[in-house]
Amino acid sequence: MFFAQIQLSVMMELNLENSNNVALNANFKETENVMSDAKRKQFKKAPKSIVGERIFKSLLGLLSVLILLLVVGVLFTLLLHSLPSIKAIGFKFLWTKTWDPPHSIYGTLPFLVGTLITSFTALLISIPFSIGVAITLGEYFPNGPVSNFIKNAIDLIAAVPSVIFGFWGFLILVPYVRELELKIGITPPDGQGLFTASLVLAVMIIPYAASLGTTMIKMTPSALKEAAYGLGATRWEVLKSVILPYSKSGIFAGILLSLGRAIGETMAVTLVVGSAIKMPSNIFSTGNTMSSMIANQFSEASSDPLQLSSVVEIGFILFLVTFLINYIGKRIIKRFSNK
Amino acid sequence: MVIASLVLASCGGGNGSASGADDKTITGGGSSFDKPLFDKQFAEYNTTTGVKINYQSIGSGAGIAQLTSKTIDFGASDAPMNGKQDSAVSAPVLHIPITAGAVVLSYNLPEVKDTLKLTPEIIAGMFLGTITKWNDAQISAVNPTVKLPATDVLIAHRADGSGTTNIFTTYLSKVSPEWDAKVSKGSTVNWPVGTGGKGNEGVAGVIKQTPGTIGYVELAYAVQNQMQYAQVKNKAGNFITPSSASVTAAANIDIPADSKISLTNSDAPEGYPISGFSWVLIYKEQSYNNRTQAQAEQLVKLVSWMIHDGQKFSEALQYAPLSEKAVAVGDAILKSATFNGQPVLK
């Protein structure tokens, strides 16, 4: 998915000089020889290999175009199926606060707000942890048993199915949040709500920023670090002035990945968010996100065309929101690497 | 290339058969209200006749939608098809009453050992958000001997579309003009307060998890999960405990020929007020989508068995067996099912 693409584009944009990556240097030298050998072979061999090259190239091009068509197709289908709702309700859909099928009133504002609040809160909660893990694994424990243990634990978090996080949240986290709400004096002390959903999401999205951040921190040229140490910098100062500025666009890309995951997460959120269709009054109130609304409403809505098309329109808006956030994120990454 | 053509060929092969995969399987979907009863009935039917029934509890609305697109043989719904659904379907659909059940108000109050009594005004007040504390004057007025805690009333409702919601909101619309004006009835409504759970199971889960919660679930779920549920005051003024007997009493009224009637707020003096029929929906004209005569007969025989012999499993699962009047109406409706114009049941 996004992971490899962002990693690759980040590396290219950063214009790496990987002097500490010996293997890469060796490959570079050998490639020159191999290329000239291949070129010689090309001229000596029959045109069969040129045809093979061409087929391979066109196959790659075809697959890329196919994927692009798929994405455009999804967007187009969403738009097509939300047309009845767009025609009937129009732009009002974006700021209507109620979802009232018996009276045919539909609006997406509570869910939009719910999605944005839960995703960004989850991001804020998880950033210290994921950057911390990235620094630990990249700088302090790059190899060895401790590193393996932490790495495996993080990978395990990413591998657990999201519905299990939902169950864990519902059965274990909700009572604790309820006690917290009772202490603070939130009524009603439900336990479920946007805050609980943010906590569950925060745990789930740690691995993405952590692993990408680890890779970027490890790629900081050791020449820069050694120079800083040589000038008498402490470990913390090297981290602050050399490593983090160098890898900051990569870490940001990892954070963007985490945010993308948080926005789209459905089952884990549905089980703990409380499914209430109203504008959230505070972080602890129950609410709904766009994806959990779709999950709840889709099967039943299929009997009422306007309701169904409104649910699809929620999906369409979710698609656009994800698109927009990714675009803004990419622009910010570009800014970081051009400085 | 080879792989693509293989995939296309296998896709093409699958389109030949109709909704039932083969002659010994019947597919159905819909109400989760009925699922406990259907599970038992279909297992028994399979042991006696060898016919396998594949039922998915996807919700009444989804069941109707699937039947409309003819992807299942029968649907099950806790509410008759409404105007919008009727206009979407291409051919007439028969409604056969299959069972009646109770929607109970289940609550989680660990300190309260006695059964609470609730009036329609209290229930509407709680769900509208006007009654917010358990020791409210209205509640203690009808429960003078019960020590009620001063905690908040937390509401649990369905997050997904549901026939159970339909029965409950129909009842509330009948007994509370404020509810009717503000929220009205339907499978999904704009709940003024409360937390949502997915399915009857989800709501039962929410109630069990949080002390001080009250919500509505089908009777079988409350009994199976050993939850407390309240007695409700009916139209005649009696406080009725929900049970299969009180639902049968509520259903002991005249039923119209098309069987589309709501049992909520029944006039019967011993009837539980929040009861409802559940219907099985099949197409009147059974020859569509390459269905065979055998498949049509099998389906109609199944439904006929469900309203006769299948009723003996009802009481053990807290459903109300159909009254004689209801069975008679169901039989008459089944006789009107046709295959190419000829009645299926000879």
Task: Note the pLDDT tens digit of each residue in A168-182.
Answer: 999 999 989 988 988
Q: Is the pLDDT of residue A35 over 80?
A: no
* pLDDT for the residue B190: 87
Cis peptide upstream of residue A188 (ω within 30 degrees of 0): yes
Q: Does B200 touch chain A (CB under 8 A)?
A: no
Q: Is the pLDDT of residue B178 over 90?
A: yes
CA-based nearest residue to A200, from A158, A170, A156: A170
Comparing alpha-carbon positions, the chain B residue that sits nearest to A102 is B186
Contact at 8 Å (CB) between B166 and B185?
yes
- Determine, for residues B84 and A98 on separate chains, whether the beta-carbon distance falls below 8 Å: no
| Alpha-carbon distance A283 to nearest alpha carbon in chain B (angstroms) | 15
* pLDDT for the residue A3: 46
- Determine, for residues A303 and B58 on separate chains, whether the beta-carbon distance falls below 8 Å: no
Q: How far apart are CA B294 and CA B17, in angstroms?
A: 14
The beta-carbon neighbor of B61 closest among A103, A187, A300 is A300
Contact at 8 Å (CB) between A137 and A151?
yes
- Residues from chain B that touch A99, judged by Cβ atoms under 8 A, are 188, 190
Hey, which residues 306-345 in chain B have their CB within 8 Å of chain A? none
Give the pLDDT band of residue A133 (cuts 50, 70, 90). very high
The beta-carbon neighbor of B198 closest among A174, A178, A270 is A270
Q: Which of B60, B77, B185, B190 to mutate to test the interface with A (most CBs of A within 10 A)?
A: B190
Query: What dihedral angle (degrees, nearest 10) is formed by the CA atoms of A153, A155, A157, A161?
Result: -140
Give percent of chain A above pLDDT 70. 84
Over residues B324-345, the mean pLDDT reads 86
Give just the sign of the alpha carbon dihedral B116, B119, B122, B126.
positive
Q: How far apart are CA B232 and CA B238, in angstroms?
A: 8
- Determine, for residues A190 and B198 on separate chains, whether the beta-carbon distance falls below 8 Å: no
More confident residue, B86 or B134: B134
Q: Which of B154, B169, B172, B173 to mutate to test the interface with A (most CBs of A within 10 A)?
A: B154
The beta-carbon neighbor of A190 closest among B84, B154, B162 is B154
Q: What is the pTM of this model?
A: 0.76
Helix (H, G, I), strand (E, B) or coil at B146: coil
Over residues A43-50, the mean pLDDT reads 68
Q: Is the pLDDT of residue B21 over 50?
A: no
The beta-carbon neighbor of B62 closest among A105, A277, A300 is A300
- Residues from chain A that touch B68, judged by Cβ atoms under 8 A, are 303
Quick count: other Cβ atoms within 10 Å of Cβ B17? 15
Q: What is the pLDDT of residues A64-81, one digit of tens each?
A: 999 999 999 999 999 999
Q: Is the pLDDT of residue A18 over 90?
A: no
Q: Is the pLDDT of residue A36 over 70?
A: no
Give percent of chain B above pLDDT 70. 93
The beta-carbon neighbor of B188 closest among A101, A189, A305 is A101
- Residues from chain B that touch A178, judged by Cβ atoms under 8 A, are 210
Q: At A228, phi and psi to the nearest 5?
A: -65, -45
Using CA atoms, how far residue A317 sits from A257, A268, A275, A291, B234, in Å, is 19, 21, 19, 11, 46
Q: Is the pLDDT of residue B120 over 90?
A: yes
Q: Is the pLDDT of residue A302 over 70?
A: no
Q: What is the pLDDT of residues A236-275, one digit of tens each?
A: 999 999 998 888 888 988 999 899 999 989 999 998 988 8
| Alpha-carbon distance A300 to nearest alpha carbon in chain B (angstroms) | 5
Q: Which of A100, A267, A275, A308 to mutate to test the interface with B (most CBs of B within 10 A)?
A: A275
Give the pLDDT band of residue A45 (cuts 50, 70, 90). low
- Alpha helices in chain B, H assignment, sequence order: 2-14, 35-49, 60-68, 83-88, 120-128, 137-142, 163-175, 177-182, 199-209, 219-224, 244-250, 293-307, 324-335
Q: At B90, phi and psi to the nearest 5?
A: -85, -20
* pLDDT for the residue B253: 80
Comparing alpha-carbon positions, the chain A residue that sits nearest to B129 is A188
Q: How far apart are CA B80 and CA B60, in angstroms?
A: 10
Hey, which residues 63-82 in chain B have their CB within 8 Å of chain A? 64-66, 68
Q: What is the pLDDT of residues A92-114, one digit of tens each?
A: 888 888 888 888 888 899 999 99
Q: How far apart are CA B63 and CA B281, in angstroms?
A: 9
CA-based nearest residue to A215, from A23, A11, A1: A11
Secondary structure (DSSP) of A23-62: HHHHHHHHHHHHHHHHHHHHHHS-THHHHHHHHHHHHHHH
Contact at 8 Å (CB) between A78 and A88?
no
| Alpha-carbon distance A9 to nearest alpha carbon in chain B (angstroms) | 32
* pLDDT for the residue A30: 46
Contact at 8 Å (CB) between B149 and B212?
yes
- Determine, for residues B62 and A101 on separate chains, whether the beta-carbon distance falls below 8 Å: no
Contacts with A224 (C-beta within 8 Å, 6 or more apart), sequence order: A242, A246
- Average pLDDT, rounded, for chain A: 84
> What is the DSSP code (8-state) at residue A100?
B
* pLDDT for the residue A275: 83
Q: Is the pLDDT of residue A26 over 60?
A: no
- Residues from chain A that touch B159, judged by Cβ atoms under 8 A, are 270, 275, 296
- Determine, for residues A303 and B84 on separate chains, whether the beta-carbon distance falls below 8 Å: yes
